[in-house]
Structure 1
């Protein structure tokens, strides 16, 4: 899939991804943007406004997090499919989060910022594709179950501030995935679903790099502003994150990503 001929800048390419509702078309658009950027076919311009909300398909039905049905124990095929569906939705929204970050804030950063987050967006698309394929192997598909809209609420909350977006999305939400994914992998292995466990292991390896991109560019932004990164992170999390940072933390994976204890230990509850 190639981008429409009228798309010449990376900003307009990001807006194109967010304006694409169909899941398959969105992941193909993400891959097309990554390829076009890598080949030098897009200019380093940010000449398109990002939408307040990305386009969404008719399914899944989006519910508030507290209205989501319980998934039950992961031992049953139905519960495993429900868990995979929830993870696929996270990866689907993560495609938009990556490209919104570029299109909304890219002008504030060097060209390497686009390099990093285009790669992240393409990898989120790959993760979604792997999980949706796994659902189809189990007789289901993305959209068959409801999903929650909490991730985009975080994007809306931080739409005005690049440092807030980096602090909340990669450095809180994606870092939380580093905490819980090892146990999720063990649960799938315990249920005999080694195929899904391998997919999740691949995703976690990539997510360490995604959190690292967040901490790297957060460090760049705070340094440029003359701010202490750990202290300003704590201020932004208290201001913009709805909830608490709860242990246990995967300190090893977080440290690999540059998210050391100095950032989050004072926030832990």
Structure 2
């Protein structure tokens, strides 16, 4: 099995267990010139995309184990999408440098690891992936990810960038409510997300962009109505951006960014849950 065949297998198999298959080593990379991957993965009926909204439990309600499980179900869906969409990128960007294609493969393996952790936890409780509606927020962005830099601007700097915050928020929340086992899962995910954002930043800014120009370059790669709002959580930790290789100027600009799509989560309530100072 070559790298492209592996990526195609992840996209074309409808079965969840197939999408968790991890080769022991990176397959040989034999390119498929001019190959055009499908813009949707194959899914079994239980895992099919849904337009029904399934709300995340509020942080102050995570004292309930059921709500913690519902949160992990939400995260598991994101990991499954990530496995598939990084496989899509392998097929889409045949001319990417070999180092980039290798990093896409590495990221798939790490996303599979996260998915297994979430699945084990929710299954132990009695839930399985697909018991609640599964959104397809990542796949909706396919039209806006048709170049390598746009792909990484959206997937790595935005969606995975936001997960720097969310993985920290939910780790803190699970710890607050005495669920150290699931807090440890969030820490594993968080540590890997640091690397993922760092990989993305290297590619997005590979053309010699200066530190103080990163933000403008990032904005140029986004297509409205997708905005930088997608790149941060309802609590924002700027130090995580610099830890992931982004500039101080980028971190400050993202922190200051607001638009009409801003959510309604009450950050003051969340800070009170964590015992953080509120302004």
2:8 is aligned, of 8, 15, 18, to 15
**Higher share in helix:** 1
State the match for 1:232 in structure 2: 217
- Cα distance between partner residues in 1 of 2:97 and 2:49: 36
Q: Does 2:39 correspond to 1:58?
A: no
Give the TM-score, by structure 1 length.
0.83
- Are the structure 2 counterparts of residues 249 and 45 from structure 1 closer, same or farther at C-alpha, using a change threshold of 3 Å? same
Deviation for aligned residue 1:36: 4.5
Secondary structure at the aligned position of 1:54 is classed as: coil
CA contact (8 A) 2:119 2:129 kept: yes
Query: Tell me, what secondary structure is at the counterpart of 2:45?
Result: coil
- Normalising by structure 2, we get a TM-score of 0.80
Q: Which runs of 5+ in 1 are unaligned?
A: 1-6
Secondary structure in structure 1 of the residue aligned to 2:153: helix
Find the partner of 2:86 among 78, 98, 108: 98
1:101-132: CA deviation from partner (whole Å, max 9, x where unpaired): 2221141x221111211111001001001110
Q: Which residue of 2 aligns with 1:165?
A: 151
Aligned to 2:129: 142
Q: Is the 8 A contact 2:241 2:251 kept in 1?
A: no
Shift of 1:148: 1.5
Counterpart CA distance in 2 for 1:119 and 1:86 is 23
Alignment of 1:1-269 (within 5 A): 7-8=1-2, 10-28=3-21, 31-32=22-23, 35-37=24-26, 41-47=27-33, 48-60=35-47, 62-64=49-51, 67-69=53-55, 71=57, 73-107=61-95, 109-154=96-141, 156-220=142-206, 222-223=207-208, 229-237=214-222, 239=224, 241-242=226-227, 244=229, 248-263=235-250, 265-266=252-253, 268-269=257-258
Aligned counterparts of 1:125 and 1:135: Cα–Cα separation in 2: 15
SS class of match (1:164): helix
In 2, Cα distance between equivalents of 1:198 and 1:230: 32
Of 136-145 and 126-135, more deviation after overlay is shown by 136-145
1:88–1:132 Cα contact (<8 Å) kept: yes
Residues 264 and 161 of structure 1, relative CA distance in 2, 3 Å threshold:
farther
The number of aligned residues is: 248
After superposing the two structures, state which structure 1 stretch, 126-135 or 160-169, moved more.
160-169
> Cα RMSD (Å) of the superposition?
2.3
The structural deviation recorded for 1:264 is 5.3
* Structure 1 contact 105–162 (Cα < 8 Å) conserved: yes
Deviations 1:9-45 (A, max 9, x none): x2232122111221111111xx12xx342xxx42341
Q: Is the 8 A contact 2:79 2:114 kept in 1?
A: yes
Quick one: structure 1 residues 60 and 76, their matched pair in 2 at CA, closer, same or farther if it must change by over 3 Å? farther
How far apart, CA to CA, are the structure 2 residues paired with 1:120 and 1:82? 25
